[in-house]
Structure 1
Amino acid sequence: MSKDIRIKKGLDLKLKGEAELNVSEIARSKVYAIKPSDFHGVVPKLVKKEGESVKAGEVIFFSKTDEKVKFVSPVSGKIQEIKRGEKRVILEITILADAQDTFVEHSPKNPNDLSTEEVKEHLLASGCWPFVKQRPYDVIANSADSPKAIFVSAIHSAPLASDLNFTLKGKKEALKAGFDALQKLTSGKVHVTVSPNADFMPDGIKAELHKGYGKHPIGLVSTQIGLIDPINKGEKVWVVQIEDVAIIGELFLTGKVNLERTLALAGTGFEKPGYVVAKMGAQVADVVNANLKNGNYRVISGDVLTGDKKSTTDSVGFYHTQITAIPEGDDYDFFGWNLPRPNKFSVYRAGMFSFLTPGKKYDLNTNTNGEHRGFVLTGEYEKVCPLDIYPMQLLKAILVKDIDQMEALGIYEVAPEDFALTEYVCVSKQDHQHIVRNGLDVMIKEVG
């Protein structure tokens, strides 16, 4: 039986530059990149050398801690360069792409005819396993585990996020096959949460369907887990992005790993915000396709709350479904803290008037409007965090590495993205997402 979920806490950042519902043609990138840093906690072991040829879907490296977890090339071509940092840490593997892709061929399979182990082996061998992430800790799932449930968020509530009705149009068959495969991975339920106006879901899927209502972060999977089937100590839950369910389904239907996304180009930094189709690891310069305005704009792979700052020579993040461009905040208002600013957005009412026009959209820049300082108790964190936790107390417990308090305050229930809004409203300008990531790493090391 489905269960509608609702939240009252949260915050919708209404930004200008929403992507128009049309797809623009872009040139195929000459160079694609795979960055191990996109897969937190993975120490790569290379199986290819510079100059070697690869096919699309062929293994480039695997995880040293779990050799079954493989990472594959998005395109066919030649390994151009293996970039290393300090202590020979692998930073990036670049691939000089062929004009057309030649794929590694896997046998098409019907997930309903396979056992749990056979589905796992197919996902592992094909390189699709990195799409399956685990809670707690927000890392790639251990293939030896059996989760109590699998959660799929089919809501995009982040600022300027892509429209799933548009990006998943025509993919119902692939989604159905993907959900059939996911159901084989757990003895529990597969939960999928959609927005009330969603029309991309196929009929008869093997999943429990929920409708989500409320502000951001209703689209974050931690919010959905907390309202549907909370995690207790010792339990594991797996999560998959809805776009990646379609990629998994396409693998079972066609036997090919098609690492392609429909990306939203959003924000006031673009001449014509819209959509493009690109392979994972494509260069940002090719994806934005001269659509970027002249001026000082920050290009972000992902959304403005959780995305990564990129230069045009960088590559698109593995898990990201949008590219955002907003003005760089390198200018300052004289006495800006002490003067009324009617055309700027703020959750605070001191000198601000944005609360009088809740539907107004803003062209916000990257300026933090303040400097890093000690935590100040304001009560604003709790207004934007719908999780059943005390966010400030958890952050402080992480900073002093108090493992018992971290457990008691809900460290197993959270991921860094869940603290993006508390970070946004923080008058102390603390890096909440970085703090939480460090806390999760401490728990992995100390508790496992």
Structure 2
Amino acid sequence: MKTVKIKKGWQFKITGKPSQRIEERPANTYVASLPEKIPFVKPRLHVQKGDNVKIGSVLFEDKKHSDLKFLSPGSGRISDINYGPRRVIQEVVIALDDNETHEPFNVYSEPVLDEIDRNTLISRLMSGGMWPFIRQLPFRQIADPDFLPNAVWVTLGSADPFQPSAQVYLKDQADFFESGIKAIRRLADTVSICRYDETSDKNDSAANMVTHRILGKYPASDPGVVLYHTKKTASENQDWYIDGQDVIHIGKFLKTGAYPTDRIVSFSDGSSENSFHLKTRMGVRLNDLVSRKTDNQYKRWIVGGVLSGYMSTFDNFLDLYHTSIMIIEESHESELFGFVRPGSKKLSNSRTVLSAASSEPLSINSDMHGEKRPCVNCGYCANICPVDIMPQFTYKSIDADEIEEALAYGLLDCVECGLCSFVCPSKIELSDFLINAKHRYHKELNQIV
């Protein structure tokens, strides 16, 4: 086993770390698929409002790859198809039946998985809605089935304590995880299984399969970070990766012949008594995850992580990839003379506030503590970046439309962790800026109209 230690990053000091406790939260009446949240996919709908679907029925396909199917996470009636600006499909909402039914798929035994042809397996995963779980660096798009990667990276656990724990989602899933790994091994010559050290358990089902032990602060466990610190040639830049929980889904799909919809989601509202893991399902409405009433007028819902996720609302749905929900206070008031206060309760990476002297977890809210200002070349973002790019110079190059210069500074190495935005004293959303630039470059490379 190799040990990879990442020196740069940030250690979380936020209250409300989810405990190992699991509570069940089934969807009440609705689930949804969110095409808008799947990058680089142009959906072509297979259903319309009022149609009846089963779990595993095709909802839409990718216009560029018609073999790539996206399946229904619920059985019932298509109650709504919501569009955004420029007719972007945001949600396909399904009103659930009392008795749900599944579309049947082929079942594969262990000996068959050991010998299955790569192209046959890819075809089954694409038609069965499992292929979108496998993604490709550096753009983090759905993996190109015609490309043979040097390796597939499987991630177990996260340096972000607000993401689901591998110990939780691996429990009682050993057979499905091993079957999923068998299938992944048919896709590439090398499969690297990375375990973040602080979440490791020598007694769980994956302990003997781990190839890389990851040490360090957030985002040390990100596959892009691990690849950056281990790669030897440029050909490895397009390696594939998949989350451990999604490996379980692939194994379950192949062994049961049914499209799996179960999900382990971490939930936190900042308090220790209401921060835990939830056993729910794909596409669940966020409000169904809360057992007690919350005053949503003064709360901000964050999906996918406080630094790398996105803002949502209580009546939205869980997308395909993200498995973390946080609720923080919505700040509406400015602090009088906040710039002269010692800041003993302010979360910051800077040592100019008193909280830097303590390791005590702090509560957070949505207050920016200031407005956006011009970049002052402080270097905070470069000092914390885990892949050694120069975010401030990359930002300026992109702003000047010098894409080649931005690439030279390491734009494609960006792992989209959000740390550069977090530490920026000028309140510049550097992470969003870099992500949007990567997406534009990907569009140019692939000539997407």
Number of positions where the alignment pairs a residue of Structure 1 with one of Structure 2? 440
Which residue is equivalent to 1:77?
76
- For the pair 1:227 / 2:226, whether they are aligned, the reply is no
Kindly report the root-mean-square deviation, in angstroms, between the aligned alpha carbons of the 2 structures.
Answer: 2.0
**How much has 1:171 moved relative to structure 2?**
1.2
**How much has 1:295 moved relative to structure 2?**
7.0
- For the pair 1:384 / 2:384, whether they are aligned, the reply is yes
Which residue is equivalent to 1:438?
436
- For the pair 1:40 / 2:55, whether they are aligned, the reply is no
Q: Secondary structure at the match of 1:443?
A: helix
**How much has 1:94 moved relative to structure 2?**
0.5
Structure 1 CA distance for aligned equivalents of residues 377 and 99 of structure 2: 57
Question: Aligned AA for 2:385?
Answer: C
Which residue is equivalent to 2:181?
179
**How much has 1:177 moved relative to structure 2?**
0.9
1:262 and 1:277 in contact (8 A); partners too: yes
Q: Which deviates further from its counterpart, 227-236 or 13-22?
A: 227-236
**How much has 1:318 moved relative to structure 2?**
1.7
1:32 and 1:97 in contact (8 A); partners too: yes
- Name the structure with the higher helix share: 2
Which residue is equivalent to 2:307?
305
Which residue is equivalent to 1:120?
122
Cα separation, partners in 2 of 1:97 and 1:230, compared to 1, 3 Å: farther
**How much has 1:271 moved relative to structure 2?**
5.8
1:108 and 1:254 in contact (8 A); partners too: yes
Question: Aligned AA for 1:25?
Answer: E
Which structure 2 segments of 5+ residues have no match? none
Structure 1 CA distance for aligned equivalents of residues 3 and 269 of structure 2: 31
Question: Aligned AA for 2:419?
Answer: L
Q: Secondary structure at the match of 2:274?
A: coil
Q: Secondary structure at the match of 2:382?
A: helix
Q: Secondary structure at the match of 1:404?
A: helix
Structure 2 CA distance for aligned equivalents of residues 405 and 113 of structure 1: 46
**How much has 1:293 moved relative to structure 2?**
6.3
Which residue is equivalent to 2:191?
190
Q: Secondary structure at the match of 1:4?
A: strand
1:148-195, Cα deviation, whole Å (9 max, x unpaired): 2111221311252222212321111111111111111113x1112102
Structure 1 CA distance for aligned equivalents of residues 272 and 262 of structure 2: 22
Cα separation, partners in 2 of 1:322 and 1:442, compared to 1, 3 Å: closer
2:17 and 2:272 in contact (8 A); partners too: no
Question: Aligned AA for 2:392?
Answer: M
Cα separation, partners in 2 of 1:310 and 1:230, compared to 1, 3 Å: farther
Structure 2 CA distance for aligned equivalents of residues 241 and 27 of structure 1: 22
TM-score, scaled to structure 2: 0.93
**How much has 1:233 moved relative to structure 2?**
6.5
Cα separation, partners in 2 of 1:354 and 1:87, compared to 1, 3 Å: closer
Alignment equivalent of 2:326, drawn from 313, 324, 327? 324
Which residue is equivalent to 2:98?
99
Question: Aligned AA for 2:422?
Answer: Y
Which residue is equivalent to 1:393?
393
Structure 1 CA distance for aligned equivalents of residues 25 and 216 of structure 2: 35
Q: Secondary structure at the match of 1:447?
A: helix
TM-score, scaled to structure 1: 0.93
Give the fraction of aligned pairs with identical amino acids, expressed as a percent. 27
Q: Secondary structure at the match of 1:337?
A: helix
- For the pair 1:202 / 2:201, whether they are aligned, the reply is no
- For the pair 1:428 / 2:426, whether they are aligned, the reply is yes
2:420 and 2:431 in contact (8 A); partners too: no
Q: Secondary structure at the match of 2:103?
A: coil
Q: Secondary structure at the match of 2:340?
A: coil
Q: Secondary structure at the match of 1:33?
A: strand
- For the pair 1:314 / 2:313, whether they are aligned, the reply is no
- For the pair 1:284 / 2:293, whether they are aligned, the reply is no
Question: Aligned AA for 1:81?
Answer: D
**How much has 1:204 moved relative to structure 2?**
6.0
Cα separation, partners in 2 of 1:398 and 1:271, compared to 1, 3 Å: same
1:233 and 1:412 in contact (8 A); partners too: no
**How much has 1:100 moved relative to structure 2?**
3.3
Cα separation, partners in 2 of 1:43 and 1:10, compared to 1, 3 Å: same
Q: Secondary structure at the match of 1:144?
A: coil
Which structure 1 segments of 5+ residues have no match? none
**How much has 1:376 moved relative to structure 2?**
1.7
**How much has 1:13 moved relative to structure 2?**
2.0
1:160 and 1:267 in contact (8 A); partners too: no
Question: Aligned AA for 1:61?
Answer: F
2:53 and 2:77 in contact (8 A); partners too: yes
Aligned residue runs from structure 1 range 315-394, under 5 A: 315-350=317-352, 352-357=353-358, 359-394=359-394
2:303 and 2:309 in contact (8 A); partners too: yes
Cα separation, partners in 2 of 1:203 and 1:366, compared to 1, 3 Å: closer
**How much has 1:383 moved relative to structure 2?**
2.5
**How much has 1:209 moved relative to structure 2?**
1.0
**How much has 1:201 moved relative to structure 2?**
4.0
1:136 and 1:236 in contact (8 A); partners too: yes
Q: Which deviates further from its counterpart, 35-44 or 376-385?
A: 376-385
**How much has 1:240 moved relative to structure 2?**
0.7
Question: Aligned AA for 2:206?
Answer: P
Question: Aligned AA for 1:354?
Answer: S
2:268 and 2:276 in contact (8 A); partners too: yes
1:397 and 1:405 in contact (8 A); partners too: yes
1:32 and 1:315 in contact (8 A); partners too: yes
Structure 2 CA distance for aligned equivalents of residues 20 and 130 of structure 1: 29
Q: Secondary structure at the match of 2:435?
A: helix
Structure 2 CA distance for aligned equivalents of residues 198 and 123 of structure 1: 29
1:222-275, Cα deviation, whole Å (9 max, x unpaired): 111111226726952111111111111111111112122111111326862222
Structure 2 CA distance for aligned equivalents of residues 169 and 394 of structure 1: 42
1:404-428, Cα deviation, whole Å (9 max, x unpaired): 223322233224x23x011100111
Which residue is equivalent to 2:12?
13
Structure 2 CA distance for aligned equivalents of residues 209 and 48 of structure 1: 43
Q: Secondary structure at the match of 1:165?
A: helix
Which residue is equivalent to 2:53?
54
Question: Aligned AA for 1:386?
Answer: P
Cα separation, partners in 2 of 1:192 and 1:377, compared to 1, 3 Å: same
Alignment equivalent of 2:138, drawn from 132, 136, 143? 136
Which residue is equivalent to 1:28?
27
1:55-101, Cα deviation, whole Å (9 max, x unpaired): 11111000011111111111111111112233433221110111232
